[in-house]
């Protein structure tokens, strides 16, 4: 992806009412100055963390609990699976294409004492099979509208009842079961229906 396209993606996130990480109040999870190798390819969307109050609401609306397995696709600093593990004892997996994000997420999991519950894997979410994603009972997203749509056919192959929660972006004509606003941020919630299989 070109530098220009990356800037366009960043602008799209900003246009959706997001703010740059640099402008976010002190992060819940510490950043690290150490570096990891660069991503094997340009990420489809830049890292912008979900504010903690939105994370909390995403977990609430998806009714995440101790028996769930939560997959965060494009997991950034790991805050969604880490919060679910800390609050509810949920097992979680985060995938991110950027090794630096994986490094940070693992460090954050260590700091928060949840390494027995969460795993962070370096990989491209568009290479995940329905079999791998089928291990999740809840999937969380904070990507871009076109990336949600690209994932949609795979999500529709998952077990009926699998819960999907997305910050900021919908799934086109797949109407959400719930839709809400938290401090100006949209949150969407779906369950994989029988008819989509």
Ligand X SMILES: C[S@@+](CC[C@H](N)C(=O)[O-])C[C@H]1O[C@@H](n2cnc3c(N)ncnc32)[C@H](O)[C@@H]1O
43 in contact with ligand X (CB under 6 A): yes
Least Å from the CB of residue 87 to ligand X: 16
80 in contact with ligand X (CB under 6 A): yes
Q: Of 84-92, 93-101, 156-164, 171-179, which segment contacts ligand X by CB under 6 A?
A: 93-101
Query: Which of 29, 71, 120, 142 touches ligand X by CB under 6 A?
Result: 142
User: Three-class SS of residue 150?
Assistant: helix
Q: Cα dihedral angle (32, 118, 191, 180), rounded to 10 degrees? A: -40
- Closest of 159, 116, 113, 112 to residue 139, by C-alpha: 159
Q: How many Å is the Cα radius of gyration of the chain? A: 16
Query: Which of 101, 117, 163, 185 touches ligand X by CB under 6 A?
Result: 101
Give the sheet arrangement for strand 138-141, strand by strand. 118-122, 91-96, 69-73, 138-141, 163-167, 185-191, 178-182
104 in contact with ligand X (CB under 6 A): no
Binding residues vs ligand X (CB under 6 A): 43-45, 47-50, 72, 74-76, 79-80, 95-98, 101, 124-126, 142, 167
């Amino acid at each position: 992806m070109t530098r220009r396209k990356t800037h366009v993606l960043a602008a799209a996130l900003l246009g959706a009412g997001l703010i740059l990480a640099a402008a976010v109040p002190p992060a819940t999870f510490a950043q690290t100055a150490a570096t990891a190798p660069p991503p094997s390819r340009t990420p489809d969307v830049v890292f912008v963390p979900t504010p903690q109050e939105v994370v909390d609401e995403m977990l609430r609306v998806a009714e995440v609990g101790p028996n769930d397995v939560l997959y965060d696709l494009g997991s950034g600093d790991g805050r969604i699976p880490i919060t679910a593990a800390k609050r509810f004892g949920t097992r979680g997996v985060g995938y991110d294409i950027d090794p630096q994000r994986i490094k940070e997420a693992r460090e954050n999991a260590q700091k928060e004492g949840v390494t027995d519950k969460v795993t962070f894997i370096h990989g491209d979410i568009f290479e995940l099979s329905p079999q791998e994603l089928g291990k999740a009972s809840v999937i969380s997203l904070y990507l871009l509208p076109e990336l949600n749509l690209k994932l949609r056919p795979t999500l529709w192959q998952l077990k009926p009842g699998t819960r999907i929660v997305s910050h900021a972006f919908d799934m086109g004509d797949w109407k959400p079961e719930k839709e809400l606003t938290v401090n100006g941020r949209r949150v969407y919630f779906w369950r994989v229906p029988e008819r989509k299989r």
